[in-house]
Chains A and B, each alone.
Chain A
């Protein structure tokens, strides 16, 4: 491996890959076999963090940033005047193995611009994964990008070596996609997704009968949407997200605030803020949907199309549904506990465990880690002190905001001043 050449390629192809936010390396269950290298059974480790605070867990690179397509929101687009490079299959294998041996990474996340054709590109991605598994006996994590339009045969092979496969939807609405990525058809990225979904279902069925059935994409599929590039509202985004979770059994949907990279007037100008707060609110909503038992229509619907930026979506829901409160901490079921603002799932479990021993009061709740500044307006516990005033939603919101120091306050005031 020529060091200088590799160094230059790595700079270009890591830079181009960084906008994909997915960095998860968990959920695989691939164990070290025959004293090989690596193990992907655990939770997935963040080995470092970038200065923007994101987890570095995988070597995240493009195989090449040559691309025949011209998606407006993408740095790799054909019409963009940038340096191009392409890794050889062996180079990617060497980098992965050597980084892994030094405990820098959990594995590889390999994506690519579309070089020549979808299948030509997908074939090379698969070749990297195959080499790592079969020649290097590598059991670390491999995430491959499914190239839109790739054939079923290649997608089947990809899943035999990769832990996770993903296709990025990127633009939440069909009309937005048409406008910004005219070469791309929704069917093209649905196709590999459907194939992978069916393979996973088949694998699970066969596995029940034949134990030795080779693993197929054990960490499942994920996708990513770019937020704030095409004027969509939060309702549309979360509807799309919900649709993909339900119909493609996705493990994760990632939301990536659009980072302006182009002077194209279909897009936000270079220098405009990355909508980080909005991105965060979408993730919170995603969690409420997946782990807190909320139906998406409770949070976003035709009357409420955008998430509040100044408060989190659970608090916002609670304020719209004051008739559900106050909740008695010592009596309520898990479902209702999970709906109290200021209580995470961890606190919910702790409460359920602890209240078997004694009735809980404010002091207990505080020690358990409940964010009382928010929760206090919505609960009663083993104490005769509780919120007796019949406060309106606006009042409660006012009190809570007064007493909170949001980490987003700065960006919040920036965003609000637009209207001020």
Chain B
């Protein structure tokens, strides 16, 4: 039987709308893909899904009855991994969940559930990393600005953490790879697109944009980082496992003096 392609707009609601479509039309062999990543084969059967919040909500509510909160959370986390094909794994998981009476999210011997759990774990790890590795720098406009380049799309996941923690300072966290950011204005967090001056270097702290104090505290932090190390216990392998090199770029303590 020929496989049917469903393309959606890349949002979670869009994906859930696609799931709704599958259930509604009892579509058998289906391949759900993000429109940006879509590689439509010439002769395959394509359909573009329109994101509808009401449909998405119905699927999500339905899942609530079938899964623990943790289980639903894992679905969302795994979705944010943006891994190719993850939508189909999620669909398989969801179909399995709806076909059973008992909550299935702990049934790790089912391949899709295991896969989702593993992806969710990776995304969760990235979330934690970003909560740890964000380095704010104080701009001349008195906004604490940070840029990140996470492996997965974790901004939606870290927002709550930063809002709670930095309630009394304005801040921006910008995802360079996905080109959007979060902006907290002392009241609420908004999703923002940003324009940067030509030649803006995210790895450098430029005195045109950042306060003078910023340089001092970066220096103090770098010094602190060096002083707190115990040379006779040096273990670079362990160090790199904790702080993989791809994250060093934006860590103030890892910048050359």
**Chain A positions near chain B (C-beta within 8 angstroms):** 3, 6-7, 10-11, 14-15, 17-19, 31-32, 35-39, 41-42, 45-56, 59-60, 95, 98-99, 101-104, 137, 257, 259-260, 274, 276, 350, 353-354, 356-358, 360, 364, 367-368, 407
- Given the known A-B contacts A18-B228, A32-B164, A104-B221, are A48 and B243 also in contact in the complex, defined by CB atoms under 8 Å? yes
In contact, B168 and A354 (Cβ under 8 angstroms)? no
- Given the known A-B contacts A46-B132, A353-B106, A358-B109, are A276 and B233 also in contact in the complex, defined by CB atoms under 8 Å? yes
In contact, B167 and A36 (Cβ under 8 angstroms)? yes
A17 partner residues in chain B, CB cutoff 8 A: 228
16 A-B residue pairings within 8 Å (CB atoms): A3-B216, A14-B227, A31-B164, A36-B168, A37-B168, A45-B131, A46-B132, A46-B242, A49-B239, A50-B230, A54-B233, A99-B224, A101-B136, A137-B168, A274-B233, A350-B106
Among residues of B, the one whose C-beta sits closest to the C-beta of A15 is: B227
The 3 closest A-B pairs by CB, nearest first: A53-B238, A52-B233, A14-B227
Among residues of B, the one whose C-beta sits closest to the C-beta of A59 is: B224
In contact, A99 and B114 (Cβ under 8 angstroms)? no
In contact, A48 and B146 (Cβ under 8 angstroms)? no
CA of A213 to CA of B138, assembled, Å: 37
B33 → chain A, closest Cβ, in Å?
27
B137 partner residues in chain A, CB cutoff 8 A: 102
Among B117-176, those with CB < 8 Å from A are: 128, 131-138, 144, 146, 161, 164-169
A358 partner residues in chain B, CB cutoff 8 A: 109
CA of A203 to CA of B235, assembled, Å: 42
Interface residue? B29 (CB, 8 A): no
In contact, A7 and B220 (Cβ under 8 angstroms)? yes
A329 → chain B, closest Cβ, in Å?
13
Among residues of A, the one whose C-beta sits closest to the C-beta of B213 is: A98
CA of A358 to CA of B230, assembled, Å: 49
A137 partner residues in chain B, CB cutoff 8 A: 168
- Given the known A-B contacts A48-B253, A51-B236, A274-B233, are A103 and B227 also in contact in the complex, defined by CB atoms under 8 Å? no
CA of A401 to CA of B210, assembled, Å: 55
Interface-centre pick from A3, A39, A103 (highest chain B CB count, 10 A): A103
B135 partner residues in chain A, CB cutoff 8 A: 102-104
Among residues of B, the one whose C-beta sits closest to the C-beta of A351 is: B108
CA of A271 to CA of B146, assembled, Å: 42
B165 partner residues in chain A, CB cutoff 8 A: 32, 38-39
**Chain B positions near chain A (C-beta within 8 angstroms):** 104, 106-109, 114, 128, 131-138, 144, 146, 161, 164-169, 186, 213, 216-217, 219-221, 223-225, 227-239, 241-243, 251-253
Among residues of B, the one whose C-beta sits closest to the C-beta of A38 is: B165
Among residues of A, the one whose C-beta sits closest to the C-beta of B212 is: A3
CA of A32 to CA of B223, assembled, Å: 29
CA of A320 to CA of B34, assembled, Å: 56
In contact, B230 and A18 (Cβ under 8 angstroms)? yes
Contact of A52 among B169, B213, B229 (CB under 8 A): B229
In contact, A51 and B229 (Cβ under 8 angstroms)? yes
- Given the known A-B contacts A14-B227, A354-B106, A367-B108, are A102 and B168 also in contact in the complex, defined by CB atoms under 8 Å? no
In contact, A103 and B239 (Cβ under 8 angstroms)? no
- Given the known A-B contacts A18-B229, A48-B132, A367-B114, are A101 and B223 also in contact in the complex, defined by CB atoms under 8 Å? no
In contact, B167 and A37 (Cβ under 8 angstroms)? yes
CA of A41 to CA of B229, assembled, Å: 27
A39 partner residues in chain B, CB cutoff 8 A: 164-165
Contact of B233 among A7, A259, A360 (CB under 8 A): A259
A14 → chain B, closest Cβ, in Å?
4
Contact of A274 among B104, B224, B232 (CB under 8 A): B232
- Given the known A-B contacts A10-B227, A102-B144, A276-B233, are A357 and B216 also in contact in the complex, defined by CB atoms under 8 Å? no
In contact, A14 and B236 (Cβ under 8 angstroms)? no
B78 → chain A, closest Cβ, in Å?
17
Interface-centre pick from B109, B114, B161, B230 (highest chain A CB count, 10 A): B109
In contact, A50 and B239 (Cβ under 8 angstroms)? yes
In contact, B166 and A99 (Cβ under 8 angstroms)? no
Contacts beyond the supplied A39-B165, A50-B230: 4 A-B pairs with Cβ under 8 Å? A7-B223, A35-B168, A46-B132, A53-B239
A363 → chain B, closest Cβ, in Å?
8
In contact, B228 and A60 (Cβ under 8 angstroms)? yes
In contact, B109 and A367 (Cβ under 8 angstroms)? yes
B229 partner residues in chain A, CB cutoff 8 A: 18, 50-52
In contact, A37 and B166 (Cβ under 8 angstroms)? yes
Contact of A103 among B146, B219, B224, B233 (CB under 8 A): B146
B103 → chain A, closest Cβ, in Å?
10
Interface-centre pick from A60, A102, A257, A358 (highest chain B CB count, 10 A): A102
Among residues of A, the one whose C-beta sits closest to the C-beta of B109 is: A364
- Given the known A-B contacts A42-B161, A99-B221, are A360 and B109 also in contact in the complex, defined by CB atoms under 8 Å? yes
Interface-centre pick from A15, A35, A52, A274 (highest chain B CB count, 10 A): A52
In contact, A37 and B109 (Cβ under 8 angstroms)? no
Interface-centre pick from A39, A51, A56 (highest chain B CB count, 10 A): A51
A51 partner residues in chain B, CB cutoff 8 A: 229, 234-236, 239
In contact, A49 and B109 (Cβ under 8 angstroms)? no
In contact, B108 and A354 (Cβ under 8 angstroms)? yes
Among residues of A, the one whose C-beta sits closest to the C-beta of B241 is: A53
Among residues of B, the one whose C-beta sits closest to the C-beta of A273 is: B232
- Given the known A-B contacts A39-B164, A46-B242, are A101 and B221 also in contact in the complex, defined by CB atoms under 8 Å? no
In contact, B217 and A98 (Cβ under 8 angstroms)? yes
B42 → chain A, closest Cβ, in Å?
38
In contact, A99 and B167 (Cβ under 8 angstroms)? no
